[in-house]
Amino acid sequence: MTVRSPLTAAFRALYSVRNAAAKPVYWWYERRLRRKVRVGGKLPQHLGLILDGNRRFARATGVQRDVGHSFGADKAHEVLQWCLELGIPAVTIWVLSTDNASRDPEEIAHILKLLEREALNLSTDPRIHANRVRVRAIGQHGGFPAHVLNALKELEEATASYDGMLLNIAVGYGGREEIVDAVKVYLEHQAVAGATLQQAAEALGPDDISARTYTAGTPEVDFIIRTSGEIRMSGFMLWQSVYSEFYFCDVYWPGFRWVDFLRALRDFQGRKRRFGK
């Protein structure tokens, strides 16, 4: 059973009431957009989501910071359902960056508590098992508490054999750190094979890095959405986003709506991808 805090549930109800007047208009618009997206062309094969704006959402709506993070975690569940409905094969969501480690320890502790809760929920979520979603946690997790690591391990093991959507949860993640880790693994393999440093350097090519990234074996991300109005990547999937299309949405992550998602996908479908040609 999915666990939600009473405070988050109460805020969700309040937030829904605030937006009730616009619901009939959005219902009609969403149906129109959904129809266009379904018949409008190819959907992303690997979608990247930068979940930004939880704290600013909390400030803007007059609630505590932790409620913003909790509401953001609930929104991730909702967006997962949208991706399943549309049949997007691979999704990577960026939950916590390596740069976030410098934040207030109490805030980080709350985010990790939410991560543990969501990992446990996903491991028993009927949608995950019915749709055979494989879930992986990617990033550097060495400093995480044991109970969080255990929850992530349980989730990965529960879905390891599945062949449906691939869901990467990027937590403790940084794009530079990922590339450094990939190079380290490459050099270790070369050393085991008896190669000198010079030989390893001469042999190194892009495919050697790609094969050792956290997302190795997954199609390179072709569409990345960032919420909150920030127009930057902040190190998200630096290696995999060489030919990605980008979409920056002004809404804060907890307020990200189905209609916002459909607008982004419609925009993606209208682009002509050239891959440097």
Residue tagged active-site, from 100, 131, 208, 267: 100
Q: Could you tell me if 175 and 239 are in contact, meaning their C-beta atoms sit under 8 angstroms apart?
A: yes
Instruction: Look up residue 269 and give its two tokens.
Output: 């479908």
Please report, for residues 39, 182, 264, the alpha-carbon distance to residue 249 in angstroms, rounded to integers and kept in the order given: 23, 31, 8
10 Å Cβ neighbour count for 213?
21
Given the structure tokens 């949608």, which residue do they identify? Answer: 127
> Residue 166, SS3?
strand
Question: Under DSSP, is residue 92 helix (H, G, I), strand (E, B) or coil?
Answer: strand
Q: Is 237 left (phi over 0), alpha (psi -120 to 50) or beta?
A: left
- What the block records as the tokens of 187 is 């050099």
Cα dihedral angle (159, 160, 164, 169), rounded to 10 degrees? Answer: 70
- Are 251 and 225 in contact by the 8 Å Cβ rule? The answer is no
- 131 in active site: no
- The catalytic residues are 52, 100
